[in-house]
Each structure stands twice: as structure tokens, then as C-alpha cells.
Chain A
């Protein structure tokens, strides 16, 4: 006797099987045995190889390692600062992309398109030199700003998609209760968006750690730059790059597991 007039909504099934793949690293989580075990094998393998080289092939690997590892603080300093910058820019861009103000949405849209259409290395060098010539800036600050602007665009898209994934009924319910737009956003939309976007944002963190190596072209002494310095001094290119690669790999694997743990926690809390 109720709802006789409502047709059941038909789920539209695509005709072709589709896959979703990102170019990011795989995030090892408890639920996914395959990825977790390949993560474990790679991680143990990388550590074992590095230890082996340092201990049993001390010449030249130990020297290389202790020289190159000095770039770690720079790499992390730049990565962490740029992550903070990119999250802020990304959140603002994401909010701007769904705003009612046409001008703001267009601005955000153009920013995102612009950034996504230019190779990261090109942007980085352009911004670095542009920022450096307009306002005098320390090299690492310029690099951090440039990386933040580059990755802010990608995060903006993630945040926008996250906000748009929240059902309209949430905003309606909050509005009907008398909450202002700002209150609705802060207490209803944002907390739910964070949950949705965290996995994708975590992926970006890992990309940023890796892509921070691009700043080595900007005369900053990160891990890669240290490696190149060492090569120019000793011509041990293959050995040095092996150590550099192992260091990045281990950092990336640790970070991806941390992101995985964060996601596991998030799911446990409802």
C-alpha cells in the first residue's frame, strides 16, 4: 500500500569490465594479503641488500651510504613542509572548486588544469626561478613553495571529489537544523571528506617523497643531489645510484606501510 508508484532504481552495469589503477604505490593493508606479502618481501630484500653492501662490501658502499644519507634531512624537510603546504592549498582549492562563486570555481579549475598539463620538473624549475627572481627566497623555501603549488592541484582534485561524494542529504539535514554554511562544512562535510580522501592523499604523500628528488636539479642537497655530487667526485655512478635507489625504496616502503596503518585505524573507528 505504500510507494506503489516508485520504480526500483536500476543499477546501471557497464558493458565492459573496467579496472581502476592508479600510478601510485600500492598501500599494504591487513586486508590485502597479496600486497602485504609483496611489500614484506621487497622491504626485507631492500634492507638485507643494503646491510649486505654496507657490511661486506664496505668499499665503496659504506662510504657512499654515509655520504648520500646526509641528504636525508633535506629530503624530509622539503617533503614534509611541501606536504603541509600542498594539503593547505589542496583543501582550499577543493573547497573553491565546489563554491557557488563562479569566479572562484573558474580560478581553481584553471589552476588545476594548468598544473596537470605541465611536467612536474618543468613547473618546478619555472616556479623556482620565477619565485627566485620576483621575491628573493632561499632555495629550499622556493622548492617547498613550488612543490606545494604543484601537488596542491592534485590534492585539490582529490578534495573536490571527496566533498562531492558526500550525499546532498547531509547538507540538507544540517541546513534544516539551522546550521550555517560554515558550520555545516566544518562539522558535517569536512570530517566525512577527510575519511574519504585520506587514502588518496596518503598516496600523494608517497609521490611527494619520491618526487622531492626533482629538487636536486635546484641545487638543494637532498639524497639524489648528494648522490650526484658523489658520482662527480668518484665516477662510481652505478654503485652510488644503487645506494640512492635503495634509500628511496626503503623510505617509500616505510611510508606506504604507515599510510596503510593509518587507513586500517580509520576503518576501525567506524
Chain B
């Protein structure tokens, strides 16, 4: 079970000139168990901000977030438990450069889940096999291509056995020829029934895997529909405009 309910969430920042910037405004979104939901929208529309409220990397100012029906924005909520259950993959991979690929993957299972080292390494090797990088276990991140690094980052997140995964533009920093290898891994995850909330402009992926596409602009969800509908028959003018730009 993994159900994410974002309810009336707002989040603002104070920009360098001291002005208040409402990055996400009273937004609600539900990701049901096993669903893949893709957020699209122009730069600065609040996609990352919204995504990062879910694992409380940037806790919302108001509103609430329910994970499997439990309000995780309450003061007494177990934030760390939540983060064990919700994995995250970043645009810039954020692998730990001082650790080998294997140690990148085993760090959290050992430190957070108190897993035994050999057990964690076994799990890591299984995951590396899954993302096709078993031969890179002892390499350092800077010896890998961008696509390989991102696949390791996915394996690292999966090592916590999360119930849901967040992806923030996982292929945007990659050279075109490496995008597919990462999308393939994400597709297979989606097929296995992983609950996924992601920001991506890979429309091929969205069409193939998404149950729902959400279009955000200026901190608000403008439109929310199935891929077919979103691409063939967008309701709002702004959505149509945006899709014309990226398709």
C-alpha cells in the first residue's frame, strides 16, 4: 500500500529582495497505490517544490500530506520513517562522490535500517543487476557516465525498499543518448507496480507509463487528466500552449 494525498498545500519562499514568492498555492493531488503520476509545467511553476513537500524535504507551510492515510505534516509524525518509505531521485543524481557505488547503495540500509553489511551488499548487488551495473560496484561515481550515475541513484533509493518513489526531472541533466537507459529502468519500476510521482518532460515515458498527468503553472494545478486526454484534448489554453512548446 502506498497512497499519497496532498491536501491544500501551500509553500512560499522569501526571495533575495525580501518579496514573498508563493511557489505552491493551495494545491491538492492524490496518487493512488500503484499509480504513476507525472507533473509537467514551465520552469518556476512549483513542480519541484510540490514534489519535495511529499518527503518533507521542503515541508509545506499550510495544508497537509497524508501517506497511507497518516498525516505526515503533523508535529508528532515520524519523518524518518516516512523517508524510508518514500525514495527520491534527483536531477543532479547527488551520489556521494567519496563512496564507491556499492557503498552509496548500502549506506542508508546499514545506517538507517541497521541492516548487516553483507546483507546490505547482497541487496545492493541485486539492485545493481537490476539496473544493469553490477560490474560497476567498486567504481566511484565520477568514473561513471551520467546515465549510469542516475541508475545507481535509483538503485540507492530502491535499497530502502520504498513503497513510493519521487523523481525530479531524472533525465534532464543527461545527454540524449543516455536518457533511454534511465527511462527503461523507470518503466520497469512502473510495470512492477511502484507508486511513482514524478516531474518529467519525457512525454514518451508519460504516455507509456503515466496513469495521470498534472499540468502546473504559477504554483497551481491547472489541469489533471489521463495522458490520452491531456495530449489530444487539453482543456485549458495555457496547457495547450505549453504542450505545443514541448511536443
Residues 62-111 (chain B) with a chain A CB within 8 angstroms: 80-81, 83-84, 87-88, 90, 92, 94-98, 107-108, 111
Asked if A178 and B83 sit within 8 Å, CB to CB, the answer is yes
Answer whether residue A170 sits at the interface, using C-beta atoms and an 8 A cutoff: yes
Query: Known pairs A172-B57, A178-B108, A187-B107. 11 more at Cβ < 8 A?
Result: A2-B202, A3-B172, A6-B172, A167-B92, A169-B92, A174-B96, A176-B83, A178-B112, A179-B107, A187-B111, A270-B142
Contact sample, A vs B, 5 pairs, CB 8 Å cutoff = A1-B203, A177-B87, A177-B156, A183-B112, A188-B96
Q: How far is the CA of A114 from the CA of B166 in the complex (A)?
A: 47
Please name the residue on chain A nearest to B172 by beta carbon: A3
Asked if B246 and A1 sit within 8 Å, CB to CB, the answer is yes
* A191 contact set on B, CB distance < 8 A: 98
Residues 39-53 (chain B) with a chain A CB within 8 angstroms: 42-43
Count how many chain B residues have C-beta atoms less than 8 Å from C-beta atoms of the other chain: 36
Asked if B90 and A4 sit within 8 Å, CB to CB, the answer is no
- The answer to whether residues A177 and B172 also contact, given A172-B94, A187-B111, A270-B142 and a CB cut-off of 8 A, is no
Asked if A6 and B43 sit within 8 Å, CB to CB, the answer is yes
B216-247 interface code vs A (CB 8 A; 1 in, 0 out): 00000000000000000000000000000111
Asked if B57 and A176 sit within 8 Å, CB to CB, the answer is yes
Answer whether residue A195 sits at the interface, using C-beta atoms and an 8 A cutoff: yes
Q: How far is the CA of A188 from the CA of B103 in the complex (A)?
A: 11
* A167 contact set on B, CB distance < 8 A: 92, 94
A188-228 interface code vs B (CB 8 A; 1 in, 0 out): 10011001000000000000000000000000000000000
Asked if A176 and B172 sit within 8 Å, CB to CB, the answer is no
Asked if A176 and B88 sit within 8 Å, CB to CB, the answer is yes
One of A170, A173, A175, A177 near B160 (C-beta < 8 A): A177
A145-173 interface code vs B (CB 8 A; 1 in, 0 out): 00000000000000000000001011011
Answer whether residue A38 sits at the interface, using C-beta atoms and an 8 A cutoff: no
Kindly provide the distance from the CB of B120 to the nearest chain A CB, expressed in whole angstroms. 13
Answer whether residue B150 sits at the interface, using C-beta atoms and an 8 A cutoff: no
Asked if B160 and A270 sit within 8 Å, CB to CB, the answer is no
Please name the residue on chain A nearest to B100 by beta carbon: A270
Answer whether residue A180 sits at the interface, using C-beta atoms and an 8 A cutoff: yes
Q: How far is the CA of A258 from the CA of B246 in the complex (A)?
A: 56
Kindly provide the distance from the CB of B162 to the nearest chain A CB, expressed in whole angstroms. 10
Q: How far is the CA of A165 from the CA of B26 in the complex (A)?
A: 35
Count how many chain A residues have C-beta atoms less than 8 Å from C-beta atoms of the other chain: 25
Please name the residue on chain A nearest to B200 by beta carbon: A2
Please name the residue on chain B nearest to A171 by beta carbon: B94
B residues with a Cβ closer than 8 A to A are 42-43, 55, 57, 80-81, 83-84, 87-88, 90, 92, 94-98, 107-108, 111-112, 140, 142, 153, 156-157, 160, 171-172, 179, 201-203, 245-247
Q: How far is the CA of A195 from the CA of B97 in the complex (A)?
A: 11
Q: How far is the CA of A191 from the CA of B96 in the complex (A)?
A: 10
One of B98, B112, B201 near A270 (C-beta < 8 A): B98
Answer whether residue A23 sits at the interface, using C-beta atoms and an 8 A cutoff: no
Q: How far is the CA of A170 from the CA of B95 in the complex (A)?
A: 7
One of A169, A179, A195, A270 near B108 (C-beta < 8 A): A179
One of B142, B156, B157, B172 near A2 (C-beta < 8 A): B172
Asked if B202 and A177 sit within 8 Å, CB to CB, the answer is no
- The answer to whether residues A1 and B160 also contact, given A178-B83, A191-B98 and a CB cut-off of 8 A, is no
Asked if B42 and A192 sit within 8 Å, CB to CB, the answer is no
Answer whether residue A11 sits at the interface, using C-beta atoms and an 8 A cutoff: no
Asked if B94 and A4 sit within 8 Å, CB to CB, the answer is no
One of A173, A175, A176, A195 near B96 (C-beta < 8 A): A173
- The answer to whether residues A170 and B111 also contact, given A4-B245, A5-B42, A175-B57 and a CB cut-off of 8 A, is no
* B140 contact set on A, CB distance < 8 A: 270
Q: How far is the CA of A170 from the CA of B153 in the complex (A)?
A: 12
Asked if B98 and A178 sit within 8 Å, CB to CB, the answer is no
* B246 contact set on A, CB distance < 8 A: 1-2, 4
